[in-house]
Amino acid sequence: MEKLEEKKAYIYIALAFIFSVLVRLIWVYQFKDVGSFMWNGQFMINTNDGYFWAEGARDLLSGVHQPHDLSPVGTAASQLTFILAKILPFSFESIIFYMPSLISSLLVIPMVLIAKSLGRIEFGFIAALLASIAWSYYNRTMVGYYDTDMLNIVFPTFMLWALVSAFRINEDKYILFAGLEIVAYRWWYPQSYSLEFAFFGLILLYALVYNRKNIYYYKLLAMMLFAMMGLPDLVRLAAVIIVYVLYKSKKLDTYMYYVLGFAIILFLFTGGFNPIWGQLKGYVFKDSIKVTKDALSLHFFSVMQTVREAGKIPFETFANRISGHTITFILSIVGYILMVFRYRVMLLGLPMLGLGFLAYVGGLRFTIYAVPICAFGISYLLFFISDYLKKFLVEGKSNLYIRTIFILLGTFAFLYPNIKHVIGYKVPTVFSKQEVSVLDKLKHIAKREDYVISWWDYGFPIRYYADVKTLGDGGKHTGEDNFPLSYMLTSPQLEASKLARLDVEYTEKDFKIIDENLEKSADKQVKLQPTIAQMTLDYGFKDTNDFLIALKTDIKLPKKTRDIYFYLPFRMMNIFPTVAMFSNLDLMSGNTIRRPFFYKTNRFREKNGIINLANGVYFNQKKGLIKIGKQEVPVRNFYITVYDKNKKFIRQRKVFNEKANISIIYMKSYNTFLVLDNAMLNSLYIQLFVFDNYDKNILAPVILNPSVKVYKLKI
């Protein structure tokens, strides 16, 4: 019987895995002929963060890595990719593109195994089908979504399987699996400690309240603590194996309470608890090295205020992302409750369910953690109802057929909205082929120590394709990081260029300070002021606003140590108002200075000399007036820009009112209208990208492409 169940498990796992991968290949079928999504004949990835891990793997393969280039050569995702690229006969681009769809589909293995441990393998198969393609899980593990999410749910679900099996069977091998899983999960995703502690807490509560005399649970708890120690991965791995060998020899059974006590002490003294209280450490122990005599307290705009993933989401979105449909989600909760009554051990799924539910108030990305548990719930409900129907049906084959049809129809009904979502979820690649071609050219112009300045959204792809340094990226985008970038992009060319040189040289100076202090005291953190604050003090100001005003004067700049390039893509036009928000405040008080006006649209139509620019915006070309809602104001300039047949850039200007604050730009080649105030009109980004109008004394064009324009800083 056991062999039959194992064979069924293999078959179900194989079928669910194939199903999961095939559904993800729908995207490939949809875009197989879209050349702009490909580079060197291979699909590009569709998540910005993916280029971070790809950069690390690329540098591991090339063997070239330099200090402070922020390449993640020591991260698990990069290392795993490096290993796969070494042993597989596929291109690097193909590996990082298809890797998420294959690795994330491994989720079906623990799903089926958990159901097998519960003695009802069939509902594990249905749950595996649903979990593998649920909205949020698919969104973050589709082809091209090369990120740590491809294993972030697989590992805790394997953990759940190890713990469920340990509770059900009480065999030492499941204690080993739990320990190994924690080591692997922490290696892959250092933030895994929250779930690990939650699992540990539940088991400890159970052991103390319900089964305090069973040493098996103390062995499990001790193993988890050894695996969770604040020591290197290989040390923790060795500890797990050694402890397991001692467990198998039965030498520790008599002293298990002492072993658990020793594990607790070792866990605490090796810093295992640091991830929880690390944020408080600076306030309690004050062990940071102070590198400046004075401090300047500044206020910055938080990037979390602009990130959708961090905000509260509607209940319907929350439910859809977990189960595909609100009704399915509600039924899954009912099913999970019924499953817990039948299998109390499934209470161990609460940490994952709870973390997933935090998404309702803390951001949509966490919904993926609830996906496997809710998939179990809806699948169990199907079989629960099927078993209940058995009482009302006549015995015989028809009884089995009717219940089988019910389960199949129910499965299809629950899968359908998720598959429909997959078909409609047509996510483009991060960059187009034309944009990447610019970075590829820049790679052969710029040196690896040079900096490319752009908005942080593009930092990782820029570093990957151009092999340069950046000031901001997906991992470095706090308010203090983004203020200088925003100021450079939205200020006039002279001030922007001076701040660019200052920020780059101060950033490199900070790297040297960090290195010098770490050599003196490697066990302490280095506390540095924001570069803009240090600049203010170094130039003799106590108010950062005064320092920024001084950028308009002939201040002395630091010695140039490397070249700086501005990367200005057309796609930034869509987020330019958001970019401006980060420098649109008084750093000393935190108050908003003003609201820059910028409006972009490609939906317009003209009638009788009046252009309807959508959203209640109308431009009267004859009178030189623009109506925004109920307010009508004069227009200063009306520009038309276009590339002719020879790709020559042409700009036309019509002046209406020199004293007005609003201008209109018709970018004919882009089929786009811009309505903007004087501050935005004179910004570095608009002048350089829209008008090709650069100050020849401080900037030089390097690559002028309709999609991206690159300029080199001369000062």
pLDDT tens across 43-58, in order?
999 999 999 999 999 9
Beta-bridge mates of residue 701? 711
Are 587 and 544 in contact, with CB atoms under 8 Å apart?
yes
User: Do residue 246 and residue 267 come from a single domain?
Assistant: yes
Q: Any idea what the Cα angle at residue 644 is, between residues 641 and 649, rounded to 5°?
A: 50
The per-residue DSSP string of 37-48 comes to: GEETTEEPPS-T
Helix (H, G, I), strand (E, B) or coil at 398: helix
User: Do residue 197 and residue 145 come from a single domain?
Assistant: yes
Domain final residue, candidates 394, 424, 454: 424
State the helix-helix crossing angle for 215-227 and 256-269, rounded to 10 degrees.
20
User: Do residue 315 and residue 357 come from a single domain?
Assistant: yes
pLDDT score of 306: 54
Check whether 288 has a pLDDT greater than 60.
Answer: no
User: Do residue 458 and residue 414 come from a single domain?
Assistant: no
Helix (H, G, I), strand (E, B) or coil at 475: coil
pLDDT score of 608: 86
Query: CB-side exposure of 559: number of CA atoms within 13 Å?
Result: 2
Tokens coding 65:
């890595």
Domain range holding 553? 433-570
Indicate the residue type of 177: F
User: Do residue 491 and residue 604 come from a single domain?
Assistant: no
State the helix-helix crossing angle for 274-284 and 193-209, rounded to 10 degrees.
110
- Number of neighbours of residue 508 by Cβ within 10 angstroms: 16
pTM (predicted TM-score):
0.90
Helices (H), 301-370: 315-323, 326-342, 350-357, 359-362
pLDDT score of 656: 94
Among candidates 614, 602, 613, which has minimal Cα distance to 668? 602
Are 409 and 24 in contact, with CB atoms under 8 Å apart?
no
User: Do residue 340 and residue 413 come from a single domain?
Assistant: yes
pLDDT score of 312: 67
Please tell me the least confidently modeled range out of 11-15, 428-432, 522-526, 673-677. 522-526
Please name the helix (run of DSSP H) or strand (run of DSSP E) that holds residue 544, with its range, or none: helix 544-550
pLDDT score of 321: 94
Tokens coding 330:
């509600």
Residue at 707 is within a domain: yes
Are 585 and 578 in contact, with CB atoms under 8 Å apart?
no
Helix (H, G, I), strand (E, B) or coil at 600: strand
- Distance separating alpha carbons of residues 254 and 247, to the nearest angstrom: 11
> Residue 527 — pLDDT band, cuts 50, 70, 90?
low
Helix (H, G, I), strand (E, B) or coil at 135: helix
Contacts of 561 (CB under 8 A, 6+ apart): 505, 508
Check whether 254 has a pLDDT greater than 90.
Answer: no
Residue at 646 is within a domain: yes
Contacts of 674 (CB under 8 A, 6+ apart): 573, 598, 599, 600, 664, 665, 667, 686, 690
Domains held by the chain: number: 3
> Residue 404 — pLDDT band, cuts 50, 70, 90?
confident
Q: What is the mean pLDDT of residues 48-72?
A: 91
- Distance separating alpha carbons of residues 641 and 643, to the nearest angstrom: 7
Phi/psi at 678 (5° precision): -60, -35
User: Which residue do the tokens 């991206």 mark?
Assistant: 708
pLDDT score of 513: 87
Tokens coding 143:
């082809």
Among candidates 685, 678, 600, which has minimal Cα distance to 636? 678
> Residue 529 — pLDDT band, cuts 50, 70, 90?
confident
Tokens coding 378:
């809806």
Residue at 514 is within a domain: yes
Residue at 51 is within a domain: no
Are 708 and 689 in contact, with CB atoms under 8 Å apart?
no
Helix (H, G, I), strand (E, B) or coil at 82: helix
Check whether 295 has a pLDDT greater than 70.
Answer: no
Check whether 285 has a pLDDT greater than 70.
Answer: no
> Residue 79 — pLDDT band, cuts 50, 70, 90?
very high
Helix (H, G, I), strand (E, B) or coil at 689: helix
Are 134 and 116 in contact, with CB atoms under 8 Å apart?
no
Indicate the average pLDDT of the chain.
90
pLDDT score of 165: 95
pLDDT tens across 562-604, in order?
999 999 999 999 999 999 999 988 888 888 887 889 999 999 9
pLDDT tens across 149-194, in order?
999 999 999 999 999 999 999 999 999 999 999 999 999 999 888 8
pLDDT score of 289: 39
Chain-centroid distance of CA 49 in Å reads: 6
- Number of neighbours of residue 151 by Cβ within 10 angstroms: 23
CA Rg, the chain, in Å?
A: 29
Q: What is the mean pLDDT of residues 114-135?
A: 95
User: Do residue 555 and residue 663 come from a single domain?
Assistant: no
pLDDT score of 530: 86
- Distance separating alpha carbons of residues 161 and 383, to the nearest angstrom: 20
The per-residue DSSP string of 232-285 comes to: -HHHHHHHHHHHHHHHHTTSSGGGHHHHHHHHHHHHHHTTTTHHHHHHHHHHHT
User: Do residue 24 and residue 150 come from a single domain?
Assistant: yes
- Number of neighbours of residue 88 by Cβ within 10 angstroms: 12
pLDDT score of 20: 98
SS (H, E, C) 143-211: CCCCCCHHHHCHHHHHHHHHHHHHHHHCCHHHHHHHHHHHHHHHHHCHHHHHHHHHHHHHHHHHHHHCC
Residue at 589 is within a domain: no
User: Which residue do the tokens 């739990």 mark?
Assistant: 178
Helix (H, G, I), strand (E, B) or coil at 428: coil
Query: CB-side exposure of 493: number of CA atoms within 13 Å?
Result: 20
pLDDT tens across 128-153, in order?
999 999 999 999 999 999 999 999 99
User: Do residue 32 and residue 136 come from a single domain?
Assistant: yes
pLDDT tens across 602-636, in order?
999 998 889 999 999 999 999 999 999 889 999 99
Check whether 310 has a pLDDT greater than 70.
Answer: no
Residue at 442 is within a domain: yes
pLDDT tens across 81-112, in order?
999 999 999 999 999 999 999 999 999 999 99
- Distance separating alpha carbons of residues 190 and 185, to the nearest angstrom: 8
> Residue 671 — pLDDT band, cuts 50, 70, 90?
very high
Among candidates 660, 662, 715, 684, which has minimal Cα distance to 579? 684
User: Do residue 611 and residue 526 come from a single domain?
Assistant: no
For 39-70, letters b (16+ CB in 10 Å) and e give beeebbbbbbbbbbbbbbbbbbeeeeeeeebb
Please name the helix (run of DSSP H) or strand (run of DSSP E) that holds residue 424, with its range, or none: helix 397-424
User: Do residue 486 and residue 389 come from a single domain?
Assistant: no
Among candidates 428, 382, 389, which has minimal Cα distance to 407? 382
User: Do residue 383 and residue 362 come from a single domain?
Assistant: yes
* CATH number of 455's domain: 3.40.1380.40
Q: Any idea what the Cα angle at residue 117 is, between residues 113 and 123, rounded to 5°?
A: 65
Contacts of 226 (CB under 8 A, 6+ apart): 179, 236, 239, 240, 243, 263, 266, 267
Check whether 283 has a pLDDT greater than 60.
Answer: no
Helix (H, G, I), strand (E, B) or coil at 698: coil
Residue at 523 is within a domain: yes
Residue at 23 is within a domain: yes
